[in-house]
Chains A and B, each alone.
Chain A
Amino acid sequence: MMKLRKASSVLLCLTLATSLLAACGSSKEGEKAAEGGNTTEAAKDVKKEGFPIVSQPLTLKMMSQDAGQADWNKMPVLQEMEKLTGIKMEYQLAPVDSYETKKNLVFASGNLPDVFFAADLKPAEQVTYGTQGVLIPLDPYIDGGYAPNLKKVFDEHPEIRKSFTTPDGHMYALPYIDLSAVWYRGPMWYNGKFLKKLGMTELPKTTDELYTYLKRVKDEDANGNGKQDEVPLASVKLDDLRMYFLGFWGIYGEAYYADKDGKVHYTPQEEGYKGYLTFLNKLWKENLLDHETFSQTDEQKKAKGKNNQVALFSDYFPYFTLGGEPSEDNPLMTPVKSEVAGSPVYGKHPGISARGTFAITSSNPNPEATMRWVDYLYSYEGSTLFNQGPENLLWKFKNKDAKEKEWLPVPGGGDREEYKGTITPNYGILTPGINMSEVTKGLRSSFDDWIDKENQEKLVPIARSPFPNVYLTDAEQSEATALLSDLNTYVIQMEAKFVTGQEPLSNWDKYVAQLKKMGSDRIVELYQAAHDR
Chain B
Amino acid sequence: MVSGVKETRRDKVFLICNYIYVFLAFIIVFYPVVYMLSASISDPKYVGSGEMWLLPKGITFEGYKRVFENSAIWTGYGNTILYTAIGTLVNLAVTLPAAYALSRKDFVGRNFFMGMFMVTMFFGGGLVPSYLLIKELGMVNSMWALIIPSAASIWNIIVSRTFFQSSIPKELQEAAQIDGCTNMRMFVKIILPLSTPIIAVMALFYGVGHWNSYFSAMIYLNDAAKYPLQLVLRQILVLQEMAAQGGGAMDMATASALNNKAEVAALMKYSVIIVATLPIIAVYPFLQRYFVQGVMIGSVKG
Contact = CB atoms under 8 A, between A and B. Distances in A.
Q: Do A and B bind each other?
A: yes
Interface of A: 1, 4-5, 7-9, 11-13, 15-16, 18-20, 22-25, 27, 29-33, 66-68, 71, 92-98, 101-102, 105, 108-109, 111, 176, 178, 181, 184-186, 236, 239-240, 297-300, 302-304, 306-307, 316-317, 320, 323, 349, 352-355, 387, 415, 417-418, 420-421, 426-430, 435, 448, 451
Given A11-B183, A30-B138, A316-B250, A24 B119 contact: yes
A66 B224 contact: yes
Given A185-B246, A306-B45, A101 B183 contact: no
A421 B257 contact: yes
A435 B251 CA distance: 9
A23 B244 contact: no
Contacts of B162: none
B253 interface: yes
A96 B265 CA distance: 15
Given A1-B180, A96-B239, A97-B234, A300 B48 contact: yes
Given A25-B130, A105-B219, A428 B261 contact: yes
Interface in B198-236: 218-219, 222-225, 231, 234-235
B98 interface: yes
User: Lowest 10 A-B CB distances belong to which pairs?
Assistant: A303-B48, A8-B183, A298-B244, A303-B49, A97-B238, A30-B137, A316-B255, A22-B151, A353-B249, A30-B136
B138 A31 contact: yes
Contacts of A306: 45
Contacts of B219: 98, 101-102, 105
B224 A22 contact: no
Interface in B127-168: 127-128, 130-133, 135-138, 140, 148-149, 151-152, 154, 157
Nearest to A177: B249
Contacts of A418: 260
B261 A307 contact: no
6 contacts: A11-B184, A105-B219, A297-B244, A316-B246, A353-B248, A355-B248
Given A4-B182, A448-B252, A300 B50 contact: yes
Q: What is the size category of the interface that chain B forms with chain A?
A: 35 or more
Contacts of A451: 252
A20 B248 CA distance: 47
Contacts of B184: 8, 11-12
Given A1-B180, A97-B234, A300-B48, A15 B249 contact: no
A30 to B, nearest CB: 4
A299 B249 contact: no
Contacts of A420: 253
A95 B231 contact: yes
B240 interface: yes
B120 interface: yes
Given A19-B151, A33-B135, A354-B249, A71 B183 contact: no
Interface string B180-206: 101110010000000000000000000
Given A23-B152, A93-B224, A354-B249, A109 B102 contact: no
Contact of A32 (B94, B136, B177): B136
A109 B183 contact: no
Contacts of B266: 299
B101 A97 contact: no
B48 A5 contact: no
Interface string B26-65: 0000000000000000001111111000000000000000
Contacts of A353: 248-249
Nearest to A316: B255
B183 A5 contact: yes
B240 A16 contact: no
A349 B100 contact: no
B94 A97 contact: no
B136 A9 contact: no
B210 to A, nearest CB: 15
Contacts of B169: none
B42 to A, nearest CB: 12
B260 A415 contact: yes
Contacts of A299: 44, 48, 240, 244, 262, 266
Interface in B254-282: 254-262, 266
Given A67-B261, A93-B223, 11 more contacts: A19-B152, A95-B231, A96-B239, A109-B128, A298-B244, A299-B240, A299-B262, A300-B48, A303-B44, A316-B250, A448-B252
B249 A430 contact: yes
B125 interface: yes
A16 B45 contact: no
B49 A317 contact: no
Contacts of A11: 183-184
A24 B101 contact: no
A93 B94 contact: no
A444 to B, nearest CB: 10
B128 A108 contact: yes
B78 interface: no
A33 B222 contact: no
A186 B249 contact: no
B106 to A, nearest CB: 8
B107 interface: yes
Contacts of B254: 427-430
B285 interface: no
B249 A178 contact: yes
A25 B148 CA distance: 9
Contacts of A33: 135-136, 138
Contacts of B117: 20, 23
A25 B97 contact: no
Contacts of B242: 96-97
B124 to A, nearest CB: 9
B175 to A, nearest CB: 14
Contacts of A323: 45
A417 B253 contact: yes
A56 B178 CA distance: 74
